[in-house]
């Protein structure tokens, strides 16, 4: 198994485990740049210099341009003709837009998951949830949940929908943007334990094979998260 072993102490770090050394050069560079952008190694709003990066990675500009093109397709950089690419600087409105899209797509994913997940998959999902529960008991849980653990859970459900297009939209594009915003905004929300409870309701509904309820719970979960962010943004705005 390839995977991103050197990243953290965690056994299976997180959803973005895309191999960094497989296939063609654009593939590799795309993964590297994506990670660099998401984790803030390349500052938001900063320019992507083709000659510079080409030298840095020891490649030509051809493959690099293809990689940048894919970053643009993912919404991680914006490009203007004859000017170049810049790392996106997410605005609060863009952030809220993403929450609406997630509410719609992941709600549907939960519905389909309740219909299509195999018993084995559901068991694994339950196990993951239990594991999160222990994690929450140990530390106060904020750190883990606010980072990759939460996405791990959502990732599984999307996979469980068995809808390939949904998987690509969410796992290959949107979740990376979500991680980007978490690094850029870095809000210290206390929603960890609350979110854990909501995750529990979702798994319950899936186990009961109740698509309607699964979708409702997922949408409520994401909506609550959005409203929490809206509140934080307003506070941050007023109090400076």
Partner DNA sequence: CAGATTAGAATTGTCGACAATACTAGCGGC
Partner DNA sequence: GCCGCTAGTATTGTCGACAATTCTAATCTG
Binding stretches for DNA (CB under 7 A): 24-26, 47-52, 59-63, 65-66, 79, 81-85
DSSP output for 26-74: HHHHHHHHHHHHHTTSS-TT-EE-HHHHHHHHT--HHHHHHHHHHHHHH
CB of 29 to DNA, least distance (A): 9
Residue 208 touches which member of its own copies, DNA, none, C-beta under 5-8 Å by kind: none
Indicate whether 169 belongs to the interface with its own copies (CB under 8 A): yes
**Residue 49 near which of DNA, its own copies, none (CB within 5-8 Å, type-dependent):** DNA
66 or 124: CB nearest its own copies: 66
Whether 161 and 215 have beta carbons less than 8 Å apart is answered as no
Contact residue for its own copies among 53, 76, 87, 112 (CB under 8 A) = 112
- Alpha-carbon gap, residue 41 to 37, rounded angstroms: 6
Q: Based on CB atoms, which residue is closest to its own copies, 116 or 135?
A: 116
Could you give the maximum distance between any two Cα atoms of the chain, in Å? 56
- Cβ closer to its own copies: 94 or 118? 94
Place of tokens 């909506």: 223
Kindly tell me which residue out of 103, 148, 150, 152 binds its own copies, with binding defined by CB under 8 A: 103
Site map 184..213 versus its own copies, x via CB under 8 A: ------------------------------
Q: Which of DNA, its own copies, none binds 25 (CB below 5-8 Å, type-dependent)?
A: DNA
Is 84 near its own copies (CB under 8 A)?
no
Residues 43-72 that bind its own copies (CB under 8 A): 62, 65-66, 69-70
Does 122 sit near its own copies (CB under 8 A)? no
Q: Which is nearer to its own copies, 73 or 123 (CB)?
A: 73
Binding site for its own copies (CB under 8 A): 23-24, 27, 62, 65-66, 69-70, 73, 75, 81-82, 94, 97-98, 100-101, 103-105, 107-108, 112, 163-166, 169
């Amino acid at each position: 198994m390839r995977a991103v072993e050197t990243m953290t102490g965690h056994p299976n770090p997180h959803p973005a485990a895309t191999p960094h050394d497989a296939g063609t050069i654009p593939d590799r560079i795309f993964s590297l740049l994506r990670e660099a952008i998401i984790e803030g190694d390349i500052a938001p709003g900063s320019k992507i210099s083709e000659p510079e990066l080409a030298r840095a990675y020891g490649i030509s500009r051809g493959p690099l341009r293809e990689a940048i093109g894919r970053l643009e397709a993912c919404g991680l950089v914006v490009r203007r003709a004859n000017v170049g690419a810049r790392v996106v600087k997410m605005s609060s409105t863009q952030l809220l837009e993403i929450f609406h899209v997630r509410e719609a797509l992941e709600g549907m994913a939960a519905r389909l998951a309740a219909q299509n997940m195999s018993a084995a998959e559901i068991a694994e999902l339950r196990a993951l949830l239990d594991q999160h529960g222990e994690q929450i008991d140990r530390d106060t849980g904020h750190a883990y949940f606010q980072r990759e653990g939460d996405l791990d859970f959502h990732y599984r459900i999307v996979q469980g929908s068995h809808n390939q297009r949904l998987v690509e939209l969410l796992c290959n594009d949107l979740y990376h943007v979500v991680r980007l915003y978490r690094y850029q905004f870095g809000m210290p929300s206390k929603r960890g334990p609350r979110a854990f409870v909501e995750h529990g309701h979702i798994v319950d509904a899936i186990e009961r094979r109740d698509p309607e309820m699964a979708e409702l719970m997922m949408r409520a979960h994401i909506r609550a998260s959005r409203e929490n962010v809206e509140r934080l943004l307003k506070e941050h705005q007023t109090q400076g």
